[in-house]
């Protein structure tokens, strides 16, 4: 069943291909032929058809064939000058066009490759620059970290020194207050001592005077 189906499909494809090919023909390679209004040389020439020109077959015939040009003009040409094979010149032009298209594509691909290469080089240069920057930042960070550690250590020492200074200042203030109090007491003592001495001297003087008076009365 499958084999019959494949055979049928192949025959159908060949028929369709043959029909499609029969609809398009070409003027053979070596000549330029006339397109006439009717099937005979007594009909008016309405166009000249160059070798390699593609024609649409409207009404095939043994001697004359009715065709339509790509520009829409219709007429009759001699059947013996038609062929269903592409002329070599047309094939050459098609190959040249394909080559030009491939060359343009190759140029475009080469241009894209060069552009991508330049972009890659730029990216590599930028990457190298970024890596250098990262290295510098890492070094700066390490230096800053060390400096920060030293700063924290100095800050801690400063706090301790400040605390010690404050403690010494407080002790000094207390010592000064104590010294001032002692000085005041000492001065007061000196004043009292001086006053006592003066009082004793005064009393001694008064006693001496009384004794003198008594002696004079005797």
pLDDT for the residue numbered 13: 55
Is the confidence at residue 116, as pLDDT, over 50?
yes
pTM (2 decimals)?
0.35
In 3D, which of 191, 193, 212 has the Cα closest to residue 201?
193
pLDDT for the residue numbered 109: 87
Q: What is the mean pLDDT of the chain?
A: 79
Is the confidence at residue 111, as pLDDT, over 50?
yes
pLDDT for the residue numbered 87: 67
Rounded distance between C-alpha atoms, residue 151 and residue 123, angstroms = 40
pLDDT band at 89; cut points 50, 70, 90: low
Where would I find the beta strands (DSSP E) of 69-151?
74-78, 82-83
Is the confidence at residue 30, as pLDDT, over 60?
no
Domain ranges of the chain: 2-86, 87-176
Mean local confidence (pLDDT), 147-162: 80
DSSP string, 37-82: SSSSTTSPEEEEE-TT-EEEEEE--SSEEEEE-TTS-EEEEEGGGE
Rounded distance between C-alpha atoms, residue 53 and residue 47, angstroms = 12
Mean local confidence (pLDDT), 18-36: 65
Q: Higher-confidence residue: 41 or 18?
A: 41
Mean local confidence (pLDDT), 21-40: 74
Q: What stretch of H or E contains 86?
A: none
Contact 90, 52 (CB under 8 A): yes
Domain 2-86 fold is SH3 type barrels. (2.30.30)
Contacts of 56 (CB under 8 A, 6+ apart): 23, 24, 67, 68, 69
Residues making up the chain, counted from first to last: 218
């Amino acid at each position: 069943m499958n084999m019959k189906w494949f055979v049928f499909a192949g025959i159908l494809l060949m028929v369709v291909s043959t029909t499609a090919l029969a609809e398009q023909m070409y003027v053979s390679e070596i000549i330029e032929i006339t397109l006439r209004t009717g099937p005979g040389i007594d009909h008016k020439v309405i166009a000249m058809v160059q070798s390699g020109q593609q024609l649409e077959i409207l009404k095939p015939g043994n001697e004359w064939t009715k065709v339509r040009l790509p520009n829409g003009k219709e007429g009759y040409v001699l059947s013996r000058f038609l062929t269903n094979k592409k002329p070599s010149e047309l094939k050459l032009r098609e190959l040249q066009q394909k080559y030009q298209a491939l060359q343009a594509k190759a140029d475009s691909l080469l241009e894209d490759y060069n552009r991508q290469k330049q972009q890659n080089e730029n990216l590599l240069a930028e990457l190298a620059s970024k890596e250098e920057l990262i290295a510098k930042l890492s070094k700066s960070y390490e230096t800053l970290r060390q400096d920060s550690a030293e700063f924290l250590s100095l800050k801690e020492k400063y706090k301790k020194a400040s605390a010690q200074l404050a403690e010494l200042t407080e002790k000094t203030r207390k010592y000064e207050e104590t010294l001032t109090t002692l000085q005041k007491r000492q001065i007061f003592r000196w004043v009292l001592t001086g006053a006592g001495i003066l009082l004793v001297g005064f009393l001694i003087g008064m006693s001496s005077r009384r004794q003198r008076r008594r002696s004079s009365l005797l």
